[in-house]
Structure 1
């Protein structure tokens, strides 16, 4: 990951820790070639999906980040996060590789979340995701970070 991504993610991870324990788990991408067929791409998604599923803890609820998922306002995200915390269940948010998420991940996910209908580079998604999670927590704790 580029240095700006690591810096941004580390900054928001530090900020969010007083509110909720949060971590990023990076799984290796399947190796890709220059002239991959659609079958190759499907295989990569399946390999990555298996990797995500094997990394899940038994009590984690899986949420898939994908372009066709539901979009939320920041305020709705904050109230959803509050529901997650009250339920006492751990949440795992899955960001797919460059070719998206496997069907196994899409089927296992409790719901699908879209940060935007725009196509976003995966490094930027990491920063946007942790920032929005932090913003949601600040709303829930009446912290002045969110001023809307």
Structure 2
């Protein structure tokens, strides 16, 4: 199964990159995981939030793998449990889906981009720093895979 995470933002703190790498390497051969950074649009000097999100949308859409099952992370999305996420993963894997998760920029994402999603999901009702979202998403995806493999990482 292929999983791509598109994350607006570059130059994360080292601990973010290390944590994402740690969880990503745990997937094993079953999951091909890739995190791709999307350059954020600079704000100010005549560029407002809407213009910035539109520019970021263009970069995001260009980076979405062809035919991918698009999951947008959004504060108004569905908040699955770890078990529900594992079930999503089981179905995606069974259907041979290439799943693409999108983490938007500081101002969020355009409605146009959100409408392209096959699933809108939230990790928390709290506002989280972008680096933390990368780590949390990768850990939860690993957790979902461990649930599917009856690995003792997840405890109920």
Q: TM-score, normalised by structure 1?
A: 0.93
> How many residue pairs were aligned?
145
Among 47, 54, 58, the alignment partner of 2:55 is 47
- CA offsets 1:60-109 (integer angstroms, 9 cap, x no match): 11110010000000001001110000111101000000111112210111
- CA offsets 1:103-131 (integer angstroms, 9 cap, x no match): 22101111100101111110000000000
Does the C-alpha gap of structure 1 residues 18 and 144 become closer, same or farther in structure 2, counting only changes over 3 Å?
Answer: farther
Q: TM-score, normalised by structure 2?
A: 0.89
- CA offsets 1:1-44 (integer angstroms, 9 cap, x no match): 001101100101101133311110111001123x87xx710111
Would you tell me which structure has more strand in proportion to its own residues?
Answer: 2
Q: Which position in structure 1 is the counterpart of 2:146?
A: 138
Would you tell me which structure has more helix in proportion to its own residues?
Answer: 1
Task: Report the RMSD for the aligned CA atoms in angstroms.
Answer: 1.4
Structure 2: runs of 5 or more not aligned = 1-11
Task: State the distance in 1 between where 2:100 and 2:91 align.
Answer: 15
Structure 1: runs of 5 or more not aligned = none
